[in-house]
Chains A and B, each alone.
Chain A
Amino acid sequence: MICTACSCLCDDVFIEDGKVLNACKRGFEHISKFKENRAIPRVRGGTVDVDKAIDEALELLKSSKKPAIYGLDTSTVEAQRLAIKIARKLGCFIDDNSSFCLGDFVEMILRKEVPTTTLDDVRDYAYVIIYWGANVYQSLPRHMSKYTYYPRGAKRNRGYDEDRYLVVVDVRKSDIAKLAKKNAKFIKVERDLELVESFIMAAEGKAPKHIEVVEILREMKKSELNVLFGGLGLKYGLGDTKILAEMINKVNSYAPLAFLPAGFHSNMRGFNETLFEDVGFVNKFSFAENRSDQRFAFTELLKEEAIDCAVIVGTDPVASLPFDISRKLAKIKTIVIDPKDTVTAKLADVVIPSAYSGIESGGTMVRSDGVRVKLEPLEKAEIDDVYILKRILEGL
């Protein structure tokens, strides 16, 4: 089966004699505990049947003036398409977690502002591998062993200590920074911008502040493919992606460097791509105004009290948003579509229980590098995101 616990979408996971094989701990927890803590259909706290919950959701949406749809990062591309159709029909906002995660990075790639690659090519050809602000040991546990640093690839078959050059950039000595030993570098940065500028300077042949960059560029020259994985640390460290795109392109005038996001929700990239194909933006989009804006990010909409109803699919904002913003969410009408009884579900007006994509429901997801993966579910639930969203779309 395909593990859908993170955006690596590992394809070698299976179950034998009741044991889950090859999945990492995060994957195992996801696969083995899917039956626990399930959502039940509810309307304002009272248990109902699914039909009633869907009807009630339709009522709320019809009477709402300014609704928003949010989440969908663990739903399939098929479900995401339906959600976009609903948003269009309602003329409302749609956004996902990527607006405060790595959406900007994906947008940069989809707009072809920077060169990119696939994880399979990284495995087969990449030499210099840079992780910047991404401790993948925690966020994408098998990233390094399955796709990047450790596997032997077609052109990289002598093992990591000879055929790869690892660079880890972080504010602290992260788990993966400990792996940067021979033929490798750990750069501890306080200000990411300084290091970005150093790369630009070095590529222009000037002496950079971070002198180790010169050696990294020299190493890059040895290979046709090198890759930079940008994580949340880089995104927050820089704030703006323009300078990052400039850096990547400058470096490319000297030595090849491809860019990939290292974000973790299983199908966040799928959401970005699906919306981009349709409207030309990756997230925080308003169908009423037909454009994307920082003000349309879900957290901003809540903060500014710009919406009166939210459909939340497969994500638990109340568990992670700051309390003052959650409190605003508690004030508006909320419809939660989720397999799990999340904290958000506990305070929602309507809860419609769904199925786990990849375990109980099939479809397509997009790996962090843009490769499409067909899910291989263990079961086939009747009621999943697609079923629910289709009924909402038809009912409107």
Chain B
Amino acid sequence: MLRLTKFMKFEAEIVVARDSFDSSAIYLHPEFAKKCGIKEGDVVSVEAKRAVKLKVKLSNSAPENGGIIPNSIFASFLTDFENFKRFKARIEVTDEKESTIEEIIEALKSNEK
């Protein structure tokens, strides 16, 4: 099915949370998700300093113009220290699979910047 929102990037406010969420997901605010045409269960590419692909879940405690990423390797991968707790990212629906921890470890080991 052709999805209108595909290939469209949305600017999102991301908060890194310590709370006990499932660590391999991004929790979008339901209103924000609706606005962007993103559904629960979609995989989105989240791009800040680097990019990861995460499964979408919804949560009302997410910021209204974005989402929460649990404090995990995925959150670390996206950010640097200065704006660790809150940062802006671009979000886009993708057909690809979610990123795995192993992929990130590979990226860690490889020396390219």
Contacts and interface: CB of A to CB of B under 8 A. Distances in A.
Direct contact of A and B (CB under 8 A): yes
Interface stretch (B2-10, B27-35, B77-85, B89-97): B77-85
A330 B73 CA distance: 14
Interface stretch (A270-278, A313-321, A350-358): A313-321
Max chain A C-beta neighbours (<10 A), residue from B73, B79, B101: B73
B99 to A, nearest CB: 13
Contact of B79 (A323, A330, A343): A323
A201 B50 CA distance: 47
B20 A324 contact: no
A161 interface: no
A324 B78 CA distance: 10
A326 B109 contact: no
Nearest to B16: A320
A138 B109 contact: no
B60 interface: no
B76 A322 contact: yes
Interface in B89-113: 101-102, 104-105, 108-109, 111
Contact of A330 (B18, B84, B109): B109
A318 B20 contact: no
A138 B17 CA distance: 10
A343 B84 CA distance: 19
A318 B107 CA distance: 12
Interface residues of A, number: 20
Given A138-B18, A139-B18, A346-B101, A318 B76 contact: yes
Contacts of B108: 318, 323, 326-327, 330, 347
A174 to B, nearest CB: 11
Contacts of A346: 101-102, 105
Contacts of A320: 71-72, 76
Interface string A12-48: 0000000000000110010000000000000000000
Contact of B76 (A29, A139, A326, A331): A326
B43 to A, nearest CB: 21
A58 interface: no
B86 to A, nearest CB: 11
A325 interface: yes
| Interface size class of chain B, counting residues whose CB lies under 8 Å from the partner chain | 20 to 34
Contacts of B105: 318, 343, 346-347
B109 to A, nearest CB: 5
A327 B80 CA distance: 12
Nearest to A318: B73
A322 B102 contact: no
Contacts of A330: 108-109
A31 to B, nearest CB: 14
B3 to A, nearest CB: 30
Nearest to B17: A138
Nearest to B72: A319
Nearest to A137: B19
B80 A322 contact: yes
Given A25-B20, A139-B18, A347-B109, A323 B72 contact: no
A323 B101 contact: no
A45 B84 CA distance: 31
B52 to A, nearest CB: 10
Contacts of A26: 20
Contacts of B18: 138-139
Contacts of A347: 105, 108-109
Contact of A323 (B76, B102, B111): B76
A29 B21 CA distance: 12
A322 B79 contact: yes
B72 A324 contact: no
A326 B49 CA distance: 15
Interface string A329-369: 01100000000000100110000000000000000000000
B61 to A, nearest CB: 10
Contacts of B20: 25-26, 29
Given A319-B73, A330-B109, 4 more contacts: A320-B72, A322-B79, A326-B76, A346-B101
